[in-house]
Structure 1
Amino acid sequence: MTVAADFPQPLAEEPVPSVAELPASYPDSWIFVHDFHGNSLIDARGVIVDVAADNNNVRGQIPISHFGSITPSPTRSEIYVGETFYSRQTRGERTDVITVWDTKTLTPKGEIVLPGGKRGQFVTLVNSLQLTNNDKWAMIFNFTPGSSVTVVDLDSRAVVSEVDLPGCSLIYPTGARGFASLCADGTMTSIALDAQGKPGATVTSEAFNDIDSDPLFMTPAMVGRTGWFVSFKGNLRAIDFSGEAAKVLGSFPIPAQSGGTPEWRPGGWQVISADRAGLLYVLMNPKGGEGSHKDGGTEAWVIDPVAKTLVRRITLKNHSISVEATQQAKPLLVASRPDGSLDVYDAVTGAFVRTVASVAHTPITMTAVRR
């Protein structure tokens, strides 16, 4: 016969709701994973993941609607999401906004309505939403297909200007307050913003981006204020964004990469990253060729851009589509897989560390916590 003493003591009553808070400043082992959610574009999300933890890796997430973009600001303890809503979910009146999220509570603090229904909607790219002026202004890329950038004051939550960008795309912050953009003719145009956020001087570089035969991937790895871009055929190009106008620096090929069988080329969506020490990590595909630039890769090649040498090759356990290095003193390399899981490696030795399973449906881009 069963008696009451045979049963375990009941668990303590749990308060409802029970909500944990995150730190206002995230650790260097955390990354933002943008789940594009290809099967349901209105239900994308930004997932906050601690890739150094042995368990409980997912620390929180926020929703992102309709081809959105996400940019965190550690100085303001806020996360900014550019997104689009329709009054009938998939149709009806369109509203573009920048939604402001609190980093501790992951609750919305407000939203800034963007005029004109022109925010660029495409598979997410990090440089479609950027910050400038000590994170006081947000800049969001528009595409109708006419291209422009809307500048938003994050203190007043108001639009301050719109800058036309005929023939140019995306946003690369320059100087104290300004931005550059890659252009279809192979040049880069830099636009200074005055104290009120209005466009000022414009400087256009000489052509350097070989659009027809070896174009650059448009998401760079940032080392300080230097952006390192990699081309489809494996050439690395540095651009200095520290001044008011972007300064195009030299380029060099990834060592021991081109030609031969197999032909190794960069491939994937976010194909290049950098750690705190300035080493570059490039996702490489052994089946390189015309049209292979989005295929993902099976190795990450670690390159010292100062010495122009290949430091090591990290063999990935699984085919991957994006890479991101954490900004720890001993960095981790995170490789996102088409199945939505993340593989984590010791970036110094190349050793496999762990898999964080089923983080996302379509983990297109990742953003490491930076100071």
Structure 2
Amino acid sequence: MNKRLFRAGGVAAMAALAWSASAWSQLPPDEIGTVTLDKPGPHRAYIIDTQFDNATTGKVVVVDPEEKKMLGMIPTGYLAPSVLSHDDSRLYSADTFWSRGVRGERTDVLTAWDTQTLESEWEVEIPKKRANILMERNMLTMSGDDRFVYIYNFTPSTSVTVVDTKNQSVASEIDIAGCVLNYPIGKRAFGSVCGDGTFQRVKLDDSGHEVSRVRTQFFDPNETAMNERAARNGDMYYFTTLDGVIQPIDVSGETPKTGKRWSLFTDAQREAGWGVGGWQLMTISPALNQLYVLVHKDHGDRNWEDPSDTIWAFDLDTHEKVGELKTENYVWSMNATSDDAPLLLGVNIDGGLDVFDLTKMEYMHTVDGISAIPALVLSSH
């Protein structure tokens, strides 16, 4: 290279650097602070991201689905389930941490997050036994008056830790041997599905301790493969078998009562291969009195959890199919908002959020790339 050109180029580069440094030095210093969000509306979405590629640090992504805008993130622990309070003021997460990241001393806490500042308000250390498995909706639930949080434990023996949100302390641990999950019932009870095919109801007192329990025969486990990921509508829970038969159960009384079963599919549809699929595969719009189910046409024994691009709507009174939603993406979990102008929010396998207008029964849009590996999506009760 010509030395004269090299020197000229070097002088020009130094001059550019000097100008750049001078320009940057004139910028005002950044101000670090926090932004307070508006009070949550009925359509705000909270996507629970499993972070499988870095599972020790999960997150909840907060999204405005109509404006297609991410509002913020809440950092959580390892595979942390989350639940919203009924007044939408708090989101609770059951977190697990290790002192050396992936090893060392284990600490489990229930954390209360403010849904406007997205900052933690308080935490309570809980027994080191909460279920460290892929999140399901009924692993972490709340009493009807937001007084207690129910945390599902699996060691592999099963129990429920009851946390008092008023006193910010662990109230009790309730053994549910042979049963799984915690389905909230009213102000002071929760249910569990048991291996013998019964549905167990545990009643608590105002201090969070057990006062009674009853069981109702729910299904025959030797004949029926029941999916535990139910959809709720008031005092009714709707379960489905793996082959698409709906089993309602009424939890309004002291003893749960099973309702009449009905099928999502006609004989011709079953013959054509239609079946249910997905992770959180069902949801309900109370305002429209409709059940929404992820379905696919290649149903088989090994793909009943597969995502789908097709959602069918059913009237809860007539049990008739009343509509269908389609998307270009494959939805794995979904949730319908509880307001009078409901949206259906579906997280897809590419990390996007598919948004549907349920009043018009039509696809609206997709918020692309909003999460990494979404497991569940929550919205206002």
TM norm structure 2: 0.88
Identity between Structure 1 and Structure 2 (%): 31
Q: Confirm or deny: 8 A CA contact 1:257 1:265 kept in the other structure.
A: no
Gaps of 5+ in 2: 1-25
Inter-partner Cα distance in structure 2 for 1:344 and 1:119 = 32
Match of 1:89 among 91, 94, 101: 101
Q: Corresponding residue for 2:44? A: 30
Counterpart of 2:181 in 1: which secondary structure? strand
Q: Confirm or deny: 8 A CA contact 2:140 2:150 kept in the other structure.
A: yes
Counterpart of 2:52 in 1: which secondary structure? coil
- Pair member with larger Rg: 2
Asked if 1:351 corresponds to 2:362, the answer is yes
Inter-partner Cα distance in structure 2 for 1:46 and 1:262 = 39
Inter-partner Cα distance in structure 1 for 2:36 and 2:182 = 32
Match of 1:233 among 210, 226, 243: 243
Gaps of 5+ in 1: 1-10
Do the aligned partners of residues 15 and 246 (structure 1) sit closer, same or farther apart at CA in structure 2, a change above 3 Å counting?
A: farther
Asked if 1:46 corresponds to 2:57, the answer is no
Asked if 1:137 corresponds to 2:152, the answer is no
Q: Corresponding residue for 1:219? A: 229
Structure 1 residue 212, shift from structure 2 partner: 4.5
Inter-partner Cα distance in structure 2 for 1:213 and 1:65 = 38
Match of 2:324 among 306, 313, 319: 313
TM norm structure 1: 0.91
Q: Deviations over 1:113-150 (max 9, x none)?
A: 012x1111100011011111511111101111110011
Asked if 1:17 corresponds to 2:29, the answer is no
Counterpart of 1:159 in 2: which secondary structure? strand
Q: Confirm or deny: 8 A CA contact 2:204 2:210 kept in the other structure.
A: yes
Asked if 1:243 corresponds to 2:253, the answer is yes
Structure 1 residue 214, shift from structure 2 partner: 3.6
Q: What is the CA RMSD across the aligned residues, in angstroms?
A: 2.2
Q: Corresponding residue for 1:6? A: none
Q: Corresponding residue for 1:152? A: 163
Inter-partner Cα distance in structure 1 for 2:61 and 2:268 = 36
Taking the TM superposition and a 5 Å limit, the aligned residue runs for 1:55-66 are: 55=68, 57-66=69-78
Higher helix share: 2
Do the aligned partners of residues 187 and 127 (structure 1) sit closer, same or farther apart at CA in structure 2, a change above 3 Å counting?
A: same
Taking the TM superposition and a 5 Å limit, the aligned residue runs for 1:253-292 are: 253-256=263-266, 260-277=270-287, 278-292=289-303
Counterpart of 2:79 in 1: which secondary structure? coil
Q: Confirm or deny: 8 A CA contact 2:86 2:146 kept in the other structure.
A: no
Counterpart of 1:106 in 2: which secondary structure? coil
Q: Deviations over 1:328-371 (max 9, x none)?
A: 3222222221110112122233322111011111111111212x
Q: How many pairs were matched up?
A: 358
Q: Deviations over 1:214-262 (max 9, x none)?
A: 4232222221221112221111121222334433222200143765453
- Matched to 1:112, the amino acid is V
Match of 1:340 among 346, 351, 355: 351
Name which of structure 1's ranges 234-243 and 179-188 shifts more when overlaid on structure 2.
234-243
Counterpart of 2:53 in 1: which secondary structure? coil
Q: Confirm or deny: 8 A CA contact 2:326 2:363 kept in the other structure.
A: no
Counterpart of 1:127 in 2: which secondary structure? helix
